[in-house]
Amino acid sequence: MPVSDPTMQIENLRGVWAGASRMGRPLIGVDLFAGAGGLSLGALAAGVQVVGAVEMHRWACATYRSNLIDNRLTRTKLFETDILELDPARLMRETGLDEGRCDILLGGPPCQGFSSHRLNDAGVGDPRNRLLLRYFEFVAALRPRIFLVENVPGMLWPRHRWFLEEFYRLTEESGYHLPMPFSLNARDYGVPQNRRRVFLLGTDRTQDPVAWPPEPTCSEGGLIAGTRPWPPASVVFDEPVDASDENGVHMRHGEELTAAFAKTPINGGSRKQSGRTLRCHGEHDGHSDVYGRINPDLPGPTMTTACINPSKGRFVHPTEPHGITLRHAARFQTFPEWFVFKGGLTAGGSQIGNAVPVKMARTLVLPLVELLQDARRDRRPAAA
């Protein structure tokens, strides 16, 4: 259950880092486009010491710093700057990383240019698309043994082909093996959310092959052998949000909208069942999820950057007449209860929607850690 996952308690996470250090040189990682730190936290739980992180947004940096650095979970050097303005040599110098010293490079370049919400050819010329190639410039400088990129499925659309093909060309020319992109759904890895994302995994050609991605741990109804049922959204609402939680806030709605939510059938009801029809909704059948209640029996909807706004999707509480709180959204993304998002409702929602679910991040990084640890043991000289 996201609320009480013991692997994500602060003391246990400190133990993971300390244990990895006692075993010798810990595996070293860098997180580009780090956001609030979901991917960094998952990597930490898998045994990676993230020594450098790059993020330009003020409140995401405040969240990262407060939860991961001030809590003494990491010794990360956080570069609060536009990655286009950051020289890779500076990052290497200030984190003490020589070429080839980085084991894992992580990152999810901003995906709005690739988003499926962009109509027709919108997004083709979005300058954020080029950040995928900026990511590669750090690959070329750091020479990590493995790199992992996360993005939205729209990255694979034909209209964005040039960026992906160029990324592959540069990768192959630089001595990395890069398989075809993997499209993975978070619900298949124990996250109570229907969230599909694309992952690119590059490995130095000197590395042994890695069995990746890991096999799903969950499936619909648990019908696939060795899996459990997809976790339903109900796990997010099983425990009340602590009254002192600064993320226990939701949007304030007007009387008309609150009344409409009260009339919407609980546990999955839609706006059409509320008796309230806006003019823009009366002329078409699209966007049927907006103002809808979350169905607790199914994995939740994708947490977007507007996940706290019921006008942007099915983000109304299953039984209460209001949208979900920031804490509920964070639980959907499997952030632990102690992890607090800074900046208020809108900034917090944006950070949550942009994050990689922590539980999924840990699951995806673990086999990479095991590969690198095995390779390190194989390189050790035999005892005399």
Kindly report, residue by residue over 273-298, the tens digit of the pLDDT.
876 666 655 565 656 789 999 999 99
Put residue 343 in one of left, alpha, beta given phi > 0 → left and psi -120 to 50 → alpha: left
Provide the pLDDT for residue 20: 61
β-pair partners for 219: 229
Q: Which residues pair with 55 in a beta bridge?
A: 80
pLDDT at position 352 is 98
Q: Among the residues of the chain, which ranges form H helices?
A: 10-22, 38-46, 58-64, 88-95, 131-142, 161-173, 234-237, 255-263, 279-282, 326-332, 345-354, 358-379
The confidence score (pLDDT) of residue 279 equals 61
pLDDT of residue 245: 97
- Residue 74 pLDDT level (bands cut at 50, 70, 90): very high
What crossing angle do the helices spanning 131-142 and 88-95 adopt, rounded to 10°? Answer: 50
Q: Provide the pLDDT for residue 239.
A: 96
Residue 118: its pLDDT value, please?
Answer: 41
Whether omega before 229 lies within 30 degrees of 0, making that bond cis, reads no
Per-residue confidence band for 19, with pLDDT thresholds at 50, 70 and 90: low
Nearest alpha-carbon partner for 355 in 122, 195, 238, 189: 195
Is 60 exceeded by the pLDDT of residue 172? yes
What is the pLDDT, as a whole number, of residue 114?
A: 44
pLDDT value of position 115: 43
Any residues with CB less than 8 A from the CB of 251 and at least 6 apart, and which?
308, 309, 310, 322, 323, 345
At 220, phi and psi to the nearest 5? -60, 115
Q: What is the pLDDT of residues 112-161, one digit of tens each?
A: 454 444 445 444 454 556 899 999 999 999 999 999 999 988 888 787 78
- Residue 384's pLDDT band, with cuts at 50, 70 and 90, is very low
Q: Are 104 and 31 in contact (CB under 8 A)?
A: no
Summarised one tens digit per residue, pLDDT across range 300-358 is 999 999 999 999 999 999 999 999 999 999 999 999 999 999 999 999 999 999 999 99
pLDDT score recorded for residue 271: 78
How far apart (Å, rounded) are the C-alpha atoms in residues 371 and 211?
9
Could you say which of 61, 111, 218, 307 is catalytic?
111
Segment 208-228, tens digit of pLDDT: 888 999 999 999 999 999 999
% of the chain with per-residue pLDDT over 90: 73
Residue 111 designated active-site: yes
Q: Regarding predicted confidence, which is higher, 2 or 76? A: 76
Q: Determine the length of the chain.
A: 384
Span of 59-73, 88-102, 115-129, 357-371 with lowest mean pLDDT: 115-129
What does the pLDDT read at residue 381?
56
As its CATH architecture, domain 2-230+354-374 has 3-Layer(aba) Sandwich (3.40)
Please state, as a whole number, how many other Cβ atoms lie within 10 Å of the Cβ of residue 169: 11
Query: What are the residue boundaries of the structural domains of the chain, listed by start?
Result: 2-230+354-374
Sequence-separated (6 or more) residues with CB below 8 Å from residue 102: 28, 29, 30, 142, 143, 144, 145
pLDDT digits 0-9 by tens, 175-206: 999 999 999 999 999 999 999 999 999 999 98
Percent pLDDT > 70 in the chain is 86
pLDDT band at 8 (very low <50, low <70, confident <90, very high): confident
The C-alpha torsion from 193 through 199 and 204 to 210, rounded to 10°, is: 50
pTM of this prediction? 0.91
Q: Which one has a higher pLDDT value, 339 or 376?
A: 339
Q: Region 1-8: what's the mean pLDDT?
A: 65
Q: How confident is the model at residue 261 (pLDDT cuts 50, 70, 90)?
A: very high
* C-alpha closest to that of 201 among 373, 5, 372: 372
Provide the β-strand partners of residue 50. Answer: 29
